[in-house]
Amino acid sequence: MNERLEQYDVKMGQTYSNLIAEFGSIRAGRANPRVLDQIRVDYYGTPTPIQQVANVSVPEARAILIQPWEKNMLKVIEKAIQVSDLGINPVNDGNSIRLVFPELTEERRKDLSKDVRKKGEDAKVAMRNIRRDADKSFKKLTKEEDVSEDVVKDLQDELQKLTDRHIKEVDEAVAKKIDEVMTV
């Protein structure tokens, strides 16, 4: 791959990775510890991911068990989960916190599918913006670096193929996540 294209390939890859991380935080009826990835707790004055202050496990299909390594973190973790947009009430038994995921209703599944589609579309828009920026920089090459128009045209063709490949990956990830969300 051309070194001029490589930086844009990396940026599109990062956009895709961010999308997959966002999809991990969308719950699909099954307990997935990744829904906690975005939640931070105050650990001695430092915002810290829950996974770094507690053992997080999935004992059942619809439950997550959080066992803090320090007892004083129970209330802090419980409060952080309550104020998050997770939409689940934590159950504190004095030793651990249990999150029980209710069965998703058909309406909620449809809302989540719309959210997944929107996040996918946002990722595709970001990739198109990267393509636009790359295209502008390629057009400047003919003026600034005395690169022939044929070379620029080849770069633009390769850029379009690269963009199409990444957008196809996004479409596949969206379809897979929607299938996961809609599965009862």
**Predicted local distance difference test score (pLDDT) of residue 28:** 67
- 């249990």: which residue's tokens? 98
Q: What is the CA radius of gyration of the chain?
A: 22
Just give the CATH number of 3-24+105-182.
1.10.132.20
Spatial distance between the Cα atoms of 163 and 167, rounded to a whole number of angstroms? 6
- Summarised one tens digit per residue, pLDDT across range 31-88 is 778 888 888 998 888 899 988 999 999 888 788 999 999 988 899 898 888 888 777 8
- Summarised one tens digit per residue, pLDDT across range 135-154 is 998 888 877 777 788 888 88
Q: Which residue has the higher pLDDT, 6 or 84?
A: 6
Q: Residue 1 pLDDT more than 80?
A: no
- 């504190």: which residue's tokens? 92
- 């802090």: which residue's tokens? 76
Strand 91-92 and strand 46-49: the pairing is unpaired
**All CATH 3.30.1360.40 domain ranges in the chain, comma separated:** 33-100
**Predicted local distance difference test score (pLDDT) of residue 184:** 63
**All CATH 1.10.132.20 domain ranges in the chain, comma separated:** 3-24+105-182
The contacts of residue 104 (CB under 8 Å, 6+ apart) are 27, 28, 29, 112, 181
Q: Find out if CATH 3.30.1360.40 is the number for domain 33-100.
A: yes
